[in-house]
């Protein structure tokens, strides 16, 4: 018996979706595609894996440190 109410709700939804699809993953995926086409916004951007990789590389480059060519002398303040 599950005592956490959140887990109870999650498992109840899982069981309901399983019953609606008759336990067939192919039917479930088709129902999910139909629901997505009907309920998700049309202008939602979905990236392909190559696009996501390029976005991650760009974010990594923006977060990387930049080495300055002229370092301040030891003991002097940076300008």
pLDDT tens column, 15-39: 999 999 999 999 999 999 998 888 8
Question: Does 25 fall in a domain?
Answer: yes
pLDDT tens column, 32-60: 999 888 887 776 666 778 877 877 777 76
72, 78 contact by CB (below 8 A):
yes
DSSP letter for 77, please: P
79 has a pLDDT exceeding 60? no
pLDDT average, residue stretch 3-19: 92
Q: Where are the alpha helices (DSSP H) in the chain?
A: 5-20, 25-39, 49-63
Question: Does 40 fall in a domain?
Answer: yes
- Residue 74's H or E segment, with its range, is none
Measured CA to CA, the distance from residue 16 to residue 29 in angstroms comes to 14
Question: Does 45 fall in a domain?
Answer: yes
Question: Does 16 fall in a domain?
Answer: yes
Q: Which domain holds residue 53?
A: 5-63
Measured CA to CA, the distance from residue 9 to residue 3 in angstroms comes to 11
8, 2 contact by CB (below 8 A):
yes
Instruction: Report which of residues 24 and 79 the model is more confident about.
Output: 24
């Amino acid at each position: 018996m599950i005592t956490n109410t959140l887990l109870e709700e999650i498992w109840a939804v899982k069981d309901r979706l399983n019953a609606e699809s008759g336990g067939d993953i192919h039917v479930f995926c088709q129902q999910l595609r139909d629901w997505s086409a009907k309920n998700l916004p049309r202008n939602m951007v979905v990236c392909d894996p190559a696009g996501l990789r390029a976005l991650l590389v760009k974010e990594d480059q923006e977060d990387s440190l930049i080495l300055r060519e002229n370092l301040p002398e030891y003991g002097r303040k940076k300008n």
